[in-house]
Amino acid sequence: LFQFIYSVCLNKVCFPPAEWCYRKQNRDDSCKDPSRWAVQFPRCGGLRQSPINIITQKVQVERSLPLFDFFGHTETVNITVKNKGHSAHFILPQSVSLAGGGLSGHYRAAQFHFHWGGSGRPGSEHTIDGERFPMELHIVHIKEPYDSLAEAEHDTAGIALLAFLFEETADDHPHLDTIIAALGRVPNNGSSTVILDFRLRDIIPAARDLHSYYRYVGSMTTPGCEQAVAWTVFHTMLSISSQQLSAIVEQCRFWTGQPMRDLYRPTQPLDGRVVYSSKSATAQKRANHVWLGALSVLLCCCLKMLIKGLHKNFTVK
């Protein structure tokens, strides 16, 4: 009997580990905020963690970063949406997949989810030159032939995560309303619903329009923080109106019962990693510089002519 009780205790019934959370959600100490994730999930204290702040001056151009090939993005599918207690997951069928993008092999989609802030606070996980954006979309893909995160986690590129940042616009994103309505149907941990006739293409652009992106090696941004992720953060931002944003942050609750807000992990140290940028990302920047340069030369000429003209007028009189 004693042995039985002892083994039950070892199985964490007597001492259940505190669940993790994004910030202290109760007056008591019942959940672990990001600064304490590593106590229970040691990999969260690793040297290749995500998200990060991307410093655009320090990114390194990598000419071998080509376009992606997306499969199944224009298919119409029924998808299940589930409140997982920390965020809501939109489960994608395995017919949605990707290749290319400088990754070797084929990656099957598993799910997508969003990170957001609350009441006007931005809530993206990645920041660019210190700027946080209103919301971030993550599309999680697992490399073939792995079937789960557990299998993929021993491969440093076992997971391909696509990240899109959102910018606030005056007009509604025309296809986010079905997403927002679905979130309204999964208010509590464990609740689920279905979105009929969903197309990923309605949410994100076609692969041919996504040539500019950042790439770095990192981790999952929730415990256990598995360091198995090839991250792609696209330059192209998705749009969302302030009305849509406030609708999104008001509908769900965390497993604690608190409103599901500010669900993002603080940025993590780079620890010597390099962030790469696809060629066209920098080509565009250079094009802007050339254009600005040309513009200033033109302005200079105009000014000179103007001054000359004024001078002439002046001397004639």
Ligand X SMILES: *[C@@H]1O[C@H](CO)[C@@H](O)[C@H](O)[C@H]1NC(C)=O
- Class of residue 217 by CB neighbours under 10 A (exposed 0-12, middle 13-18, buried 19+): middle
Minimum CB distance to Zn ion smaller for 89 or for 108: 89
Amino acid at 216: Y
CB atoms near residue 185 (< 10 Å): 16
88 within 8 A of 111, measured Cβ to Cβ? no
Segment near ligand X (CB under 6 A), from 66-74, 77-85, 128-136, 265-273?
A: 77-85
CA distances from 194 to 138, 142, 263, 269 (A): 19, 22, 23, 38
Q: Identify the CA nearest to 111 among candidates 133, 96, 128.
A: 96
- x/- letters, 186..215, toward ligand X (CB under 6 A): ---xx-----x-------------------
- Taking the complex as a whole, the smallest distance from the CB of residue 78 to ligand X amounts, in Å, to 4
Report the partner that residue 267 touches, choosing among ligand X, Zn ion, none (CB closer than 5 to 8 A by kind): none
β-bridge mates for residue 54, sequence order: 128
Q: Identify the CA nearest to 131 among candidates 107, 174, 98, 166.
A: 166
The one among 11, 78, 148, 156 contacting ligand X by CB under 6 A: 78
Minimum CB distance to ligand X smaller for 189 or for 244: 189
Segment near Zn ion (CB under 5 A), from 138-146, 147-155, 165-173, 186-194?
A: 138-146
Kindly name the residue from 86, 113, 126, 138 that is annotated as catalytic. 86
> What tokens does 69 get?
């090939």
Give the total of residues touching Zn ion (CB under 5 A).
1
Provide the binding-site residues for ligand X, judged by CB under 6 A. Answer: 19, 77-78, 85, 189-190, 196, 255
> Which residues are part of the catalytic machinery?
86
